[in-house]
Amino acid sequence: MNFIPDANLVSITIFTPKPAHFGAFLDVQLENLPRLGQLSESLGAQFYAARDGHRAILVSHFRDEAQLEGFQRTDAFLAHRDRLRPMLEGTETSLYNLVYVREPQPA
Q: pLDDT for 62-102, tens place per residue?
A: 888 988 999 999 999 999 999 999 999 999 999 998 877 77
Alpha helices in 1-107 (DSSP H): 22-40, 65-72, 75-84
* Domain architecture of the chain: domains with CATH: 9-96 (3.30.70.100)
Looking at residue 19, the DSSP 8-state letter turns out to be G
SS3 20: helix
With 50 as the cut, is the pLDDT of residue 3 above it? no
SS3 105: coil
With 50 as the cut, is the pLDDT of residue 4 above it? no
User: How many CB atoms are located within 10 Å of the residue 60 CB?
Assistant: 23
User: How many CB atoms are located within 10 Å of the residue 40 CB?
Assistant: 20
Contact 14, 59 (CB under 8 A): no
What pTM was computed for the model?
A: 0.85
- The pLDDT confidence band at residue 7, using thresholds 50, 70 and 90, is low
Percent of the chain predicted with pLDDT > 90? 61
| Average pLDDT of the residues of the chain | 88
- The pLDDT confidence band at residue 12, using thresholds 50, 70 and 90, is very high
Phi and psi at residue 84, in whole multiples of 5°? -75, -35
Strands of the sheet with 44-49, listed across from one edge: 44-49, 56-62, 9-17, 88-97
